[in-house]
Amino acid sequence: MQLTIERLNLEYLSWSVEFGLGRNNNDIRFGQHIHNKYDLPSKIDVFYIENTDKAYHELLNYVEEAQISNIL
């Protein structure tokens, strides 16, 4: 599945409401969750970023630069 800005925003909103800036109940970081769920190129390294906001902004930059269409 491809990460679009709409999907990223929905993931971020859901994560922030449920887990805040930290890890989830399975000790998984936001960037790790996104990395595992979506097809990301290897140049996008958010897997080890602890802060949810920082991972989100890195992913947002990637989606905007790649000009991925906003199709859910």
How much is the pLDDT for 67? Answer: 75
- Between 53 and 70, the more confident residue is 53
pLDDT at 72 over 60: no
Question: Cα–Cα distance between 32 and 29 in angstroms, integer?
Answer: 5
Residue type, 63: V
pLDDT, tens digit (0-9, with 9 covering 90-100), for 8-39: 999 999 999 999 999 999 999 999 999 999 98
Question: Cα–Cα distance between 27 and 50 in angstroms, integer?
Answer: 11
Question: Cα–Cα distance between 36 and 48 in angstroms, integer?
Answer: 12
How much is the pLDDT for 42? Answer: 81
pLDDT band at 69 (very low <50, low <70, confident <90, very high): low
Question: Cα–Cα distance between 33 and 65 in angstroms, integer?
Answer: 21
Q: Looking at residues 55-66, what average pLDDT do you find?
A: 93
